[in-house]
């Protein structure tokens, strides 16, 4: 197949509705048993940051197992705007970052993809300057201060002016300096930004209280494949010895543990035995442990394949989201969908993000009994969910509503597919292959119910401009 340059948003997974009157929705007829095997795509969050990491390399890179998603297209467009050539052939992306002609990321792309802020680290390290226009950063203030403080510790001058983050390295050589940086919180993005920046810095950088998420380790392994010198990958302390330049590589990213977890949830709610591959079992430890507490069995059929044997009932349990290796915030919503049907009551505490409980109002519309108190949700199990028109308000909320719809009696109509399409490759096709009755269609927006409750949800974000990224 011929390589296709990525210059505009890809049509795959895009809602097909015209903006005025029509809206794309998923219609799900629930309580259909699933069976068979599902193939897990490459990890969205790895792919995003590895794409950003190609900026570090002075030679072409080939990236394999890259999912075809809106978020990935947007990151590829950010790279294109810097003068980097990106072309896709199936799940392989060829990126040629040999010549970078611009150091300013375009406003319209960055404001739609928070992860594109992560380009600041590699761009600054390679070019000595980076300018990231970012309304999200300016309005919300807090969510990138760990990135900024770390870059400042490495000698960068970083300031925000007229909605743009300006970062530069003083001095004729434009090289960052290695530093000892203690992160107040093990932020995934800040760890990634600083690790990438340190690979081309003068001297050694020690990152303490680093994030240990598998996607951070995947990025570190990609950087090592480029020739970076990184020790302590996957631990709380990473040591990066800067090198003068990095070379090209051919790198395959890890499978998406959150997609895998979402399919496990789909299997549990429909009481269906399904298998998944490829997966890396250790990446799913916290999720599998919870499923076992809830009465399901997850069996390793081979080193990269799991089989779900669901329990007859779902047992209530408490969940607290935490940085890895704790229970992932990106699985909280899908597990809440499961616990709405559990025997007894469960407490879900969201500690990672402030505004990640907006699916509660939607699940309650389907007959769930969930009460919110700050960042805690008390889920009282009910015998049955009923299909309803619901709105996905962010990526994982939308995924949770798909799971709930699969387990509900009757038809669920899910709006807000722009969120779902950011992060799940061919979701409905994969579900149909397992036997789900689900279809993507368009409806006239006027026929959809007014949804003031979504906007006025008790869990509305304290900082409305900070969109959660799943």
Q: Is 459 in the site for ligand UD1 (CB under 6 A)?
A: no
Residues noted as catalytic? 134
Interface residue with ligand UD1 among 99, 108, 145, 250 (CB under 6 A) is: 145
Q: Is 147 in the site for ligand UD1 (CB under 6 A)?
A: yes
Q: Is 97 in the site for ligand UD1 (CB under 6 A)?
A: no
Q: Is 432 in the site for ligand UD1 (CB under 6 A)?
A: no
Q: Is 284 in the site for ligand UD1 (CB under 6 A)?
A: no
Interface residue with ligand UD1 among 116, 221, 275, 469 (CB under 6 A) is: 469
The 34-73 contact track toward ligand UD1, x by CB under 6 A, reads -----------x--x-------------------------
Q: Which is nearer to ligand UD1, 34 or 154 (CB)?
A: 154
Opening angle at CA 466, ends 465 and 470, nearest 5:
140
Q: Is 424 in the site for ligand UD1 (CB under 6 A)?
A: no
Q: From the CB of 331, what's the least distance to ligand UD1, in Å?
A: 10
Q: From the CB of 88, what's the least distance to ligand UD1, in Å?
A: 19
Q: Is 353 in the site for ligand UD1 (CB under 6 A)?
A: yes
Q: From the CB of 76, what's the least distance to ligand UD1, in Å?
A: 15
Q: From the CB of 117, what's the least distance to ligand UD1, in Å?
A: 9
Q: Which is nearer to ligand UD1, 263 or 308 (CB)?
A: 263
CB-nearest residue to ligand UD1: 189
Q: Is 165 in the site for ligand UD1 (CB under 6 A)?
A: no
Crossing angle of helices 44-53 and 257-269, rounded to 10°: 170
Q: From the CB of 142, what's the least distance to ligand UD1, in Å?
A: 5
Q: From the CB of 184, what's the least distance to ligand UD1, in Å?
A: 8
Q: Is 352 in the site for ligand UD1 (CB under 6 A)?
A: yes
Contact set for ligand UD1, span 322-351 (CB under 6 A): 329-330
Q: Residue numbers of the site for ligand UD1 (CB under 6 A)?
A: 45, 48, 115, 142-147, 185, 187-190, 213, 215, 329-330, 352-353, 469-470
């Amino acid at each position: 197949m011929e390589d296709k340059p990525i210059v505009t948003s890809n049509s795959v997974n895009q809602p097909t509705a015209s903006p005025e009157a029509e809206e794309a929705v998923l219609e799900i007829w629930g309580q259909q048993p699933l069976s068979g095997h599902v193939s897990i795509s490459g990890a969205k969050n790895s792919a995003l940051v590895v794409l950003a990491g190609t900026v570090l390399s002075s030679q072409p890179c080939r990236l394999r197992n890259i999912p075809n998603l809106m978020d990935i297209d947007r990151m590829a467009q950010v790279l294109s705007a810097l003068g980097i050539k990106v072309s896709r052939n199936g799940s392989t992306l060829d990126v040629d970052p040999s010549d970078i002609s611009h150091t300013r990321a375009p406003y319209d792309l960055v404001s739609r993809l928070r992860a594109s802020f992560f380009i600041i680290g590699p761009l600054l390290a390679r070019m000595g300057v980076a300018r990231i226009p970012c309304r999200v950063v300016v309005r919300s203030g807090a969510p990138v201060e760990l990135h900024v403080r770390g870059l400042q510790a490495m000698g960068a001058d970083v300031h925000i002016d007229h909605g743009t983050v300006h970062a530069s390295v003083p001095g004729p050589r434009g090289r960052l300096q290695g530093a000892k940086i203690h992160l107040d919180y093990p932020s995934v993005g800040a760890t990634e930004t600083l690790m990438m920046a340190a690979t081309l810095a003068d001297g050694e950088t020690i990152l303490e209280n680093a994030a240990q998420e598998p996607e951070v380790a995947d990025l570190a392994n990609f950087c090592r494949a480029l020739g970076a010198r990184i020790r302590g990958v996957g631990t709380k302390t990473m040591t990066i010895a800067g090198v003068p330049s990095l070379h090209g590589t051919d790198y395959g990213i890890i499978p998406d543990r959150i997609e895998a977890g979402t399919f496990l949830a789909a299997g549990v709610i429909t009481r269906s035995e399904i298998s998944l591959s490829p997966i890396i079992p250790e990446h799913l430890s916290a999720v599998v442990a919870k499923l076992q507490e809830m009465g399901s069995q997850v069996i390793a059929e081979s080193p990269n394949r799991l089989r779900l044997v669901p329990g007859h009932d779902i047992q209530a349990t408490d969940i607290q989201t935490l940085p890895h290796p704790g229970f992932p915030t990106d699985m909280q919503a899908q597990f809440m969908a499961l616990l709405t049907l559990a025997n007894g009551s469960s407490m879900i505490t969201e500690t990672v993000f402030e505004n990640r409980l907006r699916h509660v109002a939607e699940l309650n519309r389907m007959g769930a009994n969930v009460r919110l108190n700050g960042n805690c949700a008390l889920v009282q199990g009910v015998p049955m969910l009923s299909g309803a028109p619901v709105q996905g308000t962010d990526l994982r909320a939308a995924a949770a509503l798909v799971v709930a719809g699969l387990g509900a009696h009757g038809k669920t109509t899910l709006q807000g597919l722009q969120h779902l399409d950011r992060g799940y490759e061919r979701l409905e096709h994969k579900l149909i292959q397992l036997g789900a009755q689900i279809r993507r269609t368009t409806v006239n927006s006027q026929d959809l119910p007014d949804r003031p409750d979504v906007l006025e949800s008790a869990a509305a974000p304290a900082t409305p401009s900070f969109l959660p990224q799943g």
